[in-house]
Structure 1
C-alpha cells in the first residue's frame, strides 16, 4: 500500500492536477485523493495544499516527494536486478535526449536491444539539457544523452560519446562552391531558421557567432531539428545543424551542407547517468554498451557528411 501511496503523490507532483494524476495512475480521482489523505495520516504531516482546486504541495510534501522518487526508483532497480539474475535483463529503459543528439541515440539503442532482447526502450527526445538532468535526478529516466558541461558535478556519471560540430544547411542555389566551407560571419548574413534560444544547442551556436562579433537575426525559430530541415527545403531559409543529423536525413535533394569554420569549434556530447550505487541496472547495462561503441567513428563516416575540418 505504501508504494501505491507514494506513486500517487509523485504523480500528483508531476501532473499538478488531481484528475490528471489519477488518470496517469489508472485509478479514480477519489481513490487517489483518499490514498494521499491516508499517507498524510500515517506520516502525521500535511502534504497537499487543499482548496477548491490543486494549489500545490506543502514544504513537507515537496520534501516527501524527493524521498518517494528515490524509494520508487530503488524498488524498480531491485526488481530489475532480481529479474536480471533470474532470466536476463527485462523491462523498460528510458533515455532522455537533447534534440541535437537524437540521431546518435540510435547508435546506442541498436546494440543495446541486440544484447538485451527482453528490454523495450523509450526515447524521450527534444528535451532541453536542463530537463535531461532534472528527469535524471527525479528518476524519470534511466540515462540521458546531452552536452557534457564542466559543472555537472559528482552526482552524475558521464561517458563521452562524440564531439558535436556544425554545418551550414542551405538550398543548393545559395550554397558556397562545391567542397567549400562557410564562415560563421557569412552564415549570419543569410535568412536563418534556428533552434529557439531556450535550447542549449542554440546557446552554443550563439556563442560561436559572438566569437566573431556577429549576432544572427533568425526569422524563424523552432525546438525541432527536423523542422529546421523542413524550412530549408522550401528554399527560403538556411540553417545551422549538428553534423549528427546528416546521419538521420543525409543531405536531402536540393540542399547543400558545408562545414562551418572560423571558428571550427566542437562541443562534447555524452551519456549521463546518476552516480548513486547500486543504481539502475538499465543504466549500468547501457553504460557497458556505450563503453564498447565507437559513436564518434560512426558519425564521422556518414554518407553526405562533409567530414571534419
Structure 2
C-alpha cells in the first residue's frame, strides 16, 4: 500500500505517467498497474485517464492528502527505528533560497561535524519551489523566508534577518560612498536576481518605496553570475550583506552597505510540521537555533 501511495504522490507531482515512473525508479507499466490496484483497493477512481494523464478526480485529490500523511508517517517510523539502532544517521535533503546558501553551509558543516553519519544534499531553489518540494516529500527541510509569503503548516527555526549591500568595482562612483539609500541607485545599471526570486521581489518593494525604478541590465537566478557581471561588465548588484561579503572575497570588488529603514526579512529553517519530528530533523532544528545565536 505504501508504495502505491508513493506512486500517487509522484503522479500528482509530475502530472505525467512517464516522468512520475522515472522519478521513483519504476517502469511506466508498473506505475499504471500500481495506480489501478490502489483504485481497486479503495473502490474509487483516482485518476482521469485519456490518451494522457488528465488530472486527479475529486476522490483522487482527497486520497492524495491521506497519501502524503501516511507516507510521511511511514518515513518517520523508519527514521525512529533507525535512530534506535544507529543513532543520528541518514541522508537529509535541503532546498535553499540562493541568497541563503552561505548559511546552509554553516548549518550543515556544524551539524555534520557533530553527527558524521548524517549526509546532506543541498539544492538551490526559489521559495515557492521549496514549499512545493516539502509538500511532495522531495526534500526533508528548506531554508527560506519566514514572513514574506504563506508557509502553510510547517515547523521553523529562525536563522537571521537580511541586511543588504551593494557590490561594485572599486572604480565605480558608488565605491567611495558611505552607507547608501535605495534612492542612490536611481539610474544605476544593475544586475539582479530574476523576478521569480523572493529576494528580488523584496528589493523591488524597497525600490518602489523609495520612488525608484531599478534599471536591470541583466537578470539571473545565479548569484555567481551577478558577481561576475559586476566584475567583468561594471554593473552593480544588491544582495544580502553576508552573501556579498563572501562573493567579494578575493575579487577586485567592494561592498557598500545599504541603509535599512526597518528590520530586514527573517530567514530560517523550515520542515513539515510533524508530531513528533524525526530525530534528525529535530536535531537539525535545534542546530539552526544554535547557529542563529552564534
TM-score, length basis structure 1: 0.88
2:206 is paired with a residue whose SS is helix
Report what 2:38 is aligned to.
39
Distance 2:271 2:184 in 1: 39
* In 2, Cα distance between equivalents of 1:124 and 1:191: 30
Q: Which residue of 1 aligns with 2:168?
A: 170
Corresponding position of 1:188: 186
Residue deviations 1:123-171 (CA, integer Å, cap 9, x gap): 121x222222233333332222111217757822222111111111112
Give unpaired runs (5+ residues) of structure 2. Answer: none
Mapped to 2, the partners of 1:20 and 1:176 lie a distance apart of 49
* Secondary structure at 2:11 match in 1: helix
Shift of 1:252: 4.5
2:75 matched to 1:110? Answer: no
- Supply the RMSD in Å over aligned alpha carbons: 2.1
Q: C-alpha deviations, 1:229-280, integer Å up to 9, x for none?
A: 1211213311111112135434352222110126475222112223320133
Counterpart residue number, 1:62: 61
Q: 1:256 aligns with which of 254, 267, 279?
A: 254
Is 1:76 equivalent to 2:75 in the alignment?
yes
Alignment equivalent of 1:240, drawn from 219, 222, 238: 238
CA contact (8 A) 1:70 1:139 kept: no
Alpha-carbon contact 2:175-2:254 (below 8 Å) kept = no
Looking at structure 2, the residues matched to 190 and 241 of structure 1 have their Cα atoms a distance apart, in angstroms, of: 15
**Aligned residues of 1:142 and 1:282 also touching (Cα < 8 A):** no
Q: How many Å separate the matches in 1 of 2:51 and 2:111?
A: 48
TM-score, length-scaled by structure 2: 0.92
Q: Gaps spanning 5+ residues in structure 1: where?
A: 298-309
Q: Is the contact between residue 171 and residue 235 of structure 1 (CA under 8 Å) also seen in structure 2?
A: no
CA distance in 1, matches of 2:193, 2:257: 18
Which residue of structure 1 lines up, in the alignment, with residue 86 of structure 2? Answer: 87
SS at match of 2:13: helix
Matched position secondary structure for 2:68: helix
Q: Following TM superposition, by how much is the alpha carbon of 1:96 offset from its aligned partner in structure 2, in angstroms?
A: 1.7
Q: SS of the residue aligned with 2:51?
A: coil
* Distance verdict in 2 for CA 1:153–1:26, change over 3 Å: closer
C-alpha separation in 2, matches of 1:131 and 1:169: 27
Quick one: distance in 2 between partners of 1:130 and 1:235? 31
Note if contact 2:21-2:27 (Cα within 8 Å) is conserved in structure 1.
yes
Distance in structure 1 (CA, Å) of the matches to 2:117 and 2:144? 26
CA distance in 1, matches of 2:152, 2:61: 24
1:1-309 equivalence runs, <5 A: 2-125=1-124, 127-149=125-147, 152=150, 155-178=153-176, 180-246=178-244, 248-261=246-259, 263=261, 265-294=263-292, 297=294
Q: Answer whether contact 2:248 2:255 (CA < 8 A) is retained.
A: no
Alpha-carbon distance change, 223 to 234 in structure 1, aligned in 2, over 3 angstroms: same
